[in-house]
Homo-oligomer: A and B are copies of this chain.
Amino acid sequence: MLLSRILDPALTQGRLTLIDPQGHAHRLGPGGGPEVAIRLRDPALPRRLLLHPELATGEAYMDGQLTVEQGSLRDFLALANQCAEGIARMPLQRLLAAVGRPLRWLHQFNPARRAHRNVAHHYDLSDALYDLFLDRDRQYSCAYFPRGDETLEEAQALKKRHIAAKLLLQPGLRVLDIGSGWGGLALDLARHDGVDVTGLTLSAEQLKVARARAESEGLSPRVRFALRDYREETGFYDRIVSVGMFEHVGVSHYTRFFRQLGERLAPDGVALIHAIGRADPPGDTNAWTRKYIFPGGYCPALSEVVAAVERSGLWLTDVEILRLHYAETLRHWFDRFQAQRDRARALYDERFCRMWEFYLAGAEMAFRHGRLMVFQIQLAHQRDAVPLTRDYLYAHGGAAPAEQPLCGQQA
């Protein structure tokens, strides 16, 4: 089988057994790692996997045409990630990637109306779904695990405190939160640091929840949420924060994004962007992810982000590269989702559950074995808006705050 002849040299560790539609088993890889067997149940699948590997693998898994017979989905995706990295380094693949590059901006062309639609695709899914796998505060972004063995709740609380430290908050400062989600970060900053927060989201579902939470906590005069594109914001802020939203901006809009950020930020202000990036050179979003999970989304190479910051005239005052933290976060999400899979199936259907578990496990493996990471960049107009050294970020005790009001229906 041509497919097995191509995959075999790309596997440098572990064993992948492909059972083809005719029932023949093809053993790939040198062994010495995870042992995985998958069955391809559709005669057309091997060809589709060759032509559109990213899209066909995910779709076949969703449709039950690709099933894992030995080992776990996570093990299979760890091996698949190895294959993809190996193949991407082959000369033909490099050439194809270079040829396709000029068109990739099309995948990330996100004018305001399309941005709304893209966001609704993902974030307007049922509240109940997100409660099945996220933490109590519904933080839908990379947590922060200083020791590595924190609970998800602890690690998400530590993430918010780490970001707050980078923002150098003082009571009464005006904070803009671009991509405020279900409001967890905005509420946390108002509660712990006494700041005044405006949160922007494009998801009507998230807006509703965030507003209700601010109301029920009695924080609504100091924490406001709006359904508004970042380009339409006209306020003026001491601090700007954006967590897990920059992935939806699209490369061709970066210059505009940072210019707008500069225009909304006070002269002595500080901003913090937290987003997924790639350690590899600029590339493209996985076709399956783009189609099913995040239309219009793109995880940039850091060089693309830094180049846009340089054009904006802002100072880049710190760059942190969080490496395995998102792999750990996604492992927690995957485990929680699996534990509640019956409830997810009741909300949607089996195909949706297979899509979701493929998404969570695939993303985990891209952070654990591929080249994805999370960057936190701190920005300012003035080079001395933040302290001379980074000691101030590490002067705390490091303990997570004990009390955290719930989000949504969890108890």
Q: A residues within 8 Å of B by Cβ? A: 144-148, 279-281, 301-303, 306-307, 310-311, 315-321, 323-325, 373, 383-384, 388-391, 393-395, 398
Contacts and interface: CB of A to CB of B under 8 A. Distances in A.
B317 A319 contact: no
20 contacts: A146-B388, A148-B388, A279-B316, A280-B310, A281-B310, A301-B307, A301-B310, A302-B306, A303-B303, A303-B307, A303-B310, A316-B321, A319-B319, A319-B321, A323-B384, A323-B388, A324-B383, A390-B394, A391-B394, A394-B395
A391 B318 contact: no
A85 B324 CA distance: 41
Nearest to A144: B389
A394 B318 CA distance: 15
A317 B375 CA distance: 10
A324 B144 contact: no
Nearest to A325: B388
A280 B315 CA distance: 9
A391 B144 CA distance: 12
Contacts of A323: 315, 317, 383-384, 388
Contacts of A307: 281, 301, 303
Nearest to A378: B321
A146 B145 CA distance: 27
A398 B394 CA distance: 13
A340 to B, nearest CB: 28
A324 B388 contact: yes
Q: Nearest 6 CB-CB pairs, A to B?
A: A319-B319, A394-B394, A303-B307, A323-B383, A303-B306, A281-B310
B310 A279 contact: yes
Contact of A302 (B280, B310, B311): B310
A310 B321 CA distance: 13
Nearest to A387: B146
A234 to B, nearest CB: 25
A307 B373 CA distance: 15
A388 B315 contact: no
A411 B303 CA distance: 46
Which of the listed residues A148, A303, A318, A394 has the most CB atoms from chain B within 10 Å of its own CB?
Answer: A303
A151 to B, nearest CB: 16
Nearest to A314: B279
B320 A390 contact: yes
A274 to B, nearest CB: 14
A193 to B, nearest CB: 21
A145 B388 contact: yes
Given A279-B310, A303-B310, A319-B319, 13 more contacts: A144-B389, A146-B391, A281-B310, A281-B311, A303-B307, A315-B323, A315-B373, A316-B321, A319-B321, A324-B383, A390-B394, A391-B394, A394-B395
A310 B371 CA distance: 10
A147 B389 CA distance: 8
Given A279-B310, A388-B145, A321 B325 contact: no
Which of the listed residues A144, A306, A317, A398 has the most CB atoms from chain B within 10 Å of its own CB?
Answer: A306
A318 B395 CA distance: 19
Contacts of A319: 318-321
A215 to B, nearest CB: 35
Contacts of A388: 145-148, 323-325
Nearest to A304: B303
Contacts of A391: 146, 394, 398
Contacts of A144: 389
A324 B281 contact: no
Nearest to A389: B146
B318 A320 contact: yes
